[in-house]
Amino acid sequence: MTPSTPQETLEILGISATTSPEPLSGGDIGQVWRVTTPQGDVLVKHANPAGLEAEADGLKALLAADTGLIIPEIVGALPGALVMSYLPPARPDQKAHEAFGRGLRALHAHTSTEHGWHRDNFAGTTPQINTGHDDGRVFQRECRLLPLAERCLRKRRMDHTLFDQLSNVANALESWLPDAPASLVHGDLWSGNVHFSTQGPALIDPAVYRHYPEADLALLELFGSPADAFYEAYWDGDTPDDWPRRRALFQLYPLLNHLYMFGGSYAQGVRSAMAQLPGA
């Protein structure tokens, strides 16, 4: 049973609070509080138990990657509740953006032959399929584009014409996208999940799996753009071939997810991304 209050969560875990819980923003899929304890400030998060279990799994994977990026420490966990170290925010300077670029590059340097993950997780509240595939194009088609397009179709977020166009794009991947090793990716790396803290740039709220590194980079650019210092550190002069087209492809999945969750104008975003890709 999920604790009903952050105080109850801390009490069950044997952690004493010296202040009342302070509600924080970022509660779209749950509730988040900052609480001061004798051991320091902690962040208490209440949300869907399966989602928090997957988040904890992702945090452990990011920490084990040892990239130099700050990863919140898991202090304790209960069904539907996760307690982590609190990372005070800081205004990033050029060095912080460079450190973020170097750290993400180091994360993506952890590669495997198999695309996917040992468990499914969530993109926001949407179930995210991570069944392993040796070919990244098959993974992108069978675990990302088509399942989410089918969800959108069933929910009447898209019509059959748009669904057929997206299917054509998904089935044309082998005609232009080379297969490649699978990098460890954060999996939900929009700007809100990059947290510049007093300790350095941090990654929060992961939905990790292994896939093309462009999955992280494209999402970073979907609702804004990182600082130039980030790109200089990340690319280190090696911008990938065909980046605009790859960016359009890997923005399709988060655009479809937003279409599924919110509807409305995201259908046009899906059409605009598809227009840049073979098969559309």
Task: Give the span between the Cα atoms of 120 and 208, in whole angstroms.
Answer: 9
CA–CA separation, 32 and 1 (whole Å): 18
Catalytic residue among 28, 188, 205, 241: 188
| Rounded distance between C-alpha atoms, residue 106 and residue 183, angstroms | 10
* Helix count and strand count (H, E) for the chain: 10, 12
Q: Is 159 a catalytic residue?
A: no
* Total length of the chain: 280
* Strand ranges inside the chain, DSSP E: 22-23, 30-37, 40-47, 74-78, 81-85, 111-112, 121-123, 126-128, 182-185, 194-197, 200-203, 209-211
User: Is residue 82 within 8 Å of 30, Cβ to Cβ?
Assistant: no
The three-class DSSP label of residue 38 is coil
User: Residue 132: how many CB atoms within 10 A of its CB?
Assistant: 16
Catalytically active residues, by annotation: 188
